[in-house]
Structure 1
Amino acid sequence: MSHNNFILSPLSTILNDVTTASLGAGSGIETFPLCDYVMQSVFLKLTGAQEQKMKCIRWALASDDYEYRHNKLNKRDFGDCSTYKDKESIYKDLVTQIIKIGKSDFNDNFIDKQKILNQTIDTIRDCFVGTNLYVWAENSFLDYKKISPKIDISHFARNKTNLLTGIAIEIYTDHLYRHRNRIAHNTLSYQQNLPTLRVLESETQIYENYFLYFYLLILIDNVFIDLYKKYLETLEEFPS
């Protein structure tokens, strides 16, 4: 698969794959212990695929713009693309290149944010409702439905420098990214610092939710897919 095809391929296919793969397990009470294993697996696949996609976008930009390549390589301004800072840096780079090539500026119609938001909501609903993963984690899904409306079009791609804003950043940095590290480095297997009852009672504990993590990762993915399409169209329209 070429870089362009990979970048433009929605990560939601990973969610479709896991719901299909787990169908045969059923949804009886004896299958409930599988839930966390399955959720961890798909979460790691999603975060890993998104990190690779970020690297591919950066490589594509560097292949098309030698000045960009020189600056990035000299500064060694690249990480593992897992942190919010890394993703926002690539977002800024991609938007900057589109503006530079197309001699335009960022505006409210730069990408169709309402379409992206609706598409993300539909993806999570279509992937999980009616599946055994929904049965296994129904309470979490209901919590997700309460929280997700708090993230609207004002919380992403608001300008040419901020990928996310407000509650979306908080969920990514304080919950999603921390959980990604716990799972990726398997710290849950040896750390004894389990959350206290006070932590479990806190208002922010509701954000520890796989469906919410999937929602935010797919939202970010959809933003980058739309931006990269715009980048390719701009390259074609304004060849150097």
Structure 2
Amino acid sequence: MYTDIHTDFILEPIYTILIKGINACNSLPFGIGSYPMSEYYLQSVFINMTGALEQKMKCICWQIATDDYQYRYEFLRSKNYGECSSYTDKNNVYKDLIDAIKRKKRTFSLKAIWDDYDIPEKKMNSERETWQEDEKKKRLDKINNILKSEKNRGKILSLEEKEKMRAGILNKPYSESKFLRHIEESKGTWAFRDRLKEIHITLAQSIFTKWRVRDYLNFQNNYINDFQSINVTPSETELLKGSLVDMYEQVVYKQRNRIAHNTLSYQQNLPDLSDLADKNYYKHNYFYRFVMLVVLDDVFIRLYKKYIQ
């Protein structure tokens, strides 16, 4: 029974909390009259999402401990993930889940969590053309390197020999298996970008954009560079990469603590002047926070599906 309860909860996307929060505001007027209550609504949606994700982390650990007695011993004896709210805690749960999957299936590869992502035929054809162009450039580079190597050895190829070599390299059929490996390795990035577009459309149609006009414009103008221009797919040891780790800690985790512990009311726990002057301070808004939480949740859902298969 508890397995079913845990599984249903873990597999329920916290994106639905965001949708429900937006829908709850639909009856409010878009004018200035609703602005005073905006922070309460945004905080409520945000803290509901962070709380749900933290509880999912605990449920995942409890479920692994139920299935694996050795993990249960280690979890109860030496693992301390607290509220599972910090990046370090979430990353530890992430690695535990991957290890648990590998104990069931040693050949598990992280890219397998994107297997269910369907690529439209049009996108597949476009990607094939792009990939073949890249392969052609590599072949041309190979030809140039061969010519340079032969020249350095003091051997000058005749025009006929050059043409024969070029034809042999350029006319070789492209490897279908290599192309399919490229597709498999790219699925995670494409799935993430599609999800990002979906979240953006949802937020763009919400009253949140009226309450936080400048924040939304900053998000709209920069989210592609901040998320899509980097390798966003996780590795087997790191849930997030590069600047996204700092973004989570500074933008999501600190705000989570301010709200959850109500530190704004008695500690004046506000960003200092150096934070306000930072060039990346525009990310400190609820649009970035919502996206980050949904993205993390998606990864854990996909991993957990592999665990219970």
User: Structure 2-normalised TM-score?
Assistant: 0.70
Q: Residues 61, 119 of structure 1: CA spacing in aligned structure 2 closer, same or farther, 3 A cutoff?
A: farther
Give, in whole Å, the separation in 2 of the partners of 1:193 and 1:70. Answer: 39
**Residue 52 of structure 2 corresponds to residue 49 of structure 1:** yes
State the partner residue of 1:16. 19
SS for the counterpart of 2:282 is: helix
Q: Is the 8 A contact 2:263 2:269 kept in 1?
A: no
State the partner residue of 2:199. 124
Residue number among 251, 274, 282 corresponding to 1:206 in the alignment: 282
Q: Residues 32, 59 of structure 1: CA spacing in aligned structure 2 closer, same or farther, 3 A cutoff?
A: same
State the partner residue of 2:88. 85
Tell me how far 1:76 sits from its aligned partner: 3.9
Give, in whole Å, the separation in 2 of the partners of 1:27 and 1:118. Answer: 30
Q: Which runs of 5+ in 2 are unaligned?
A: 115-186
Residue number among 177, 188, 208 corresponding to 1:113 in the alignment: 188
Per-residue Cα deviation, 1:186-208 (whole angstroms, up to 9, x for no partner): 11112346445554232121121
Q: What percentage of residue pairs aligned between the two structures are identical?
A: 38
State the partner residue of 2:297. 221
Q: Is the 8 A contact 2:258 2:269 kept in 1?
A: no
Larger mean CA deviation between 146-155 and 207-216 belongs to 146-155
**Residue 109 of structure 2 corresponds to residue 33 of structure 1:** no
Give, in whole Å, the separation in 2 of the partners of 1:25 and 1:105. Answer: 48
The amino acid of 2:216's aligned partner reads F
Query: In the comparison of the two structures, how many residue pairs are matched?
Result: 232
Residue number among 63, 88, 96 corresponding to 2:66 in the alignment: 63
Q: Residues 6, 196 of structure 1: CA spacing in aligned structure 2 closer, same or farther, 3 A cutoff?
A: closer
SS for the counterpart of 1:15 is: helix
Residue number among 253, 274, 277 corresponding to 1:177 in the alignment: 253
SS for the counterpart of 1:99 is: helix
Q: Is the 8 A contact 1:156 1:162 kept in 2?
A: no
State the partner residue of 1:2. 5
Residue number among 215, 231, 236 corresponding to 1:154 in the alignment: 231
Q: Residues 70, 195 of structure 1: CA spacing in aligned structure 2 closer, same or farther, 3 A cutoff?
A: closer
Residue number among 192, 202, 208 corresponding to 1:133 in the alignment: 208
Tell me how far 1:29 sits from its aligned partner: 1.4
State the partner residue of 1:237. none
Tell me how far 1:108 sits from its aligned partner: 4.1
State the partner residue of 1:189. 265
Per-residue Cα deviation, 1:98-138 (whole angstroms, up to 9, x for no partner): 12211114354453423541343134224322221222123
Q: Residues 195, 114 of structure 1: CA spacing in aligned structure 2 closer, same or farther, 3 A cutoff?
A: closer
Q: Report the aligned-residue RMSD.
A: 2.0
State the partner residue of 2:161. none
Tell me how far 1:35 sits from its aligned partner: 1.7
Give, in whole Å, the separation in 2 of the partners of 1:77 and 1:198. Answer: 33
Tell me how far 1:147 sits from its aligned partner: 3.3
Q: Is the 8 A contact 2:189 2:232 kept in 1?
A: no
Q: Is the 8 A contact 1:144 1:211 kept in 2?
A: yes
Q: Is the 8 A contact 1:7 1:225 kept in 2?
A: yes
Tell me how far 1:26 sits from its aligned partner: 1.4
User: Structure 1-normalised TM-score?
Assistant: 0.89
Q: Is the 8 A contact 2:199 2:291 kept in 1?
A: yes
